[in-house]
């Protein structure tokens, strides 16, 4: 098979349904908490991007750790 033709292979609807069923079987009971954690992570990322990013997060973590030491 030509390597270029492999680049255009994508899963069809049946394969996506099978993958979805497997994911539900593996993570069925934990799926709500995983999705909640993912949502919180995305929200924190967006807030970090809006507020200036890494510098603000480092300043907050440094001030928080010094308050815990006292």
What pTM was estimated for this model as a whole?
0.42
Task: Count Cα neighbours of 46 within 13 Å in the Cβ-side half-sphere.
Answer: 6
pLDDT of amino acid 7: 56
Give mean pLDDT, residues 26-37.
Answer: 85
pLDDT at position 63 over 90: no
Query: Other C-beta atoms within 10 Å of 32: how many?
Result: 10
Give mean pLDDT, residues 24-49.
Answer: 88
CA distances from 22 to 33, 36, 48, 53 (A): 18, 20, 34, 37
63 vs 26, more confident: 26
pLDDT at position 5 over 90: no
Q: Quick one: tokens of 48?
A: 């970090």
């Amino acid at each position: 098979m030509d390597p270029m033709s492999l680049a255009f292979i994508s899963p069809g609807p049946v394969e996506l349904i099978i993958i979805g069923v497997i994911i539900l079987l593996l993570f069925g009971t934990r799926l709500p908490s995983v999705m909640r954690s993912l949502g919180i992570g995305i929200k924190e990322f967006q807030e970090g991007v809006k507020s200036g990013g890494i510098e603000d997060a480092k300043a907050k973590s440094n001030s928080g750790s010094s308050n815990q030491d006292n």
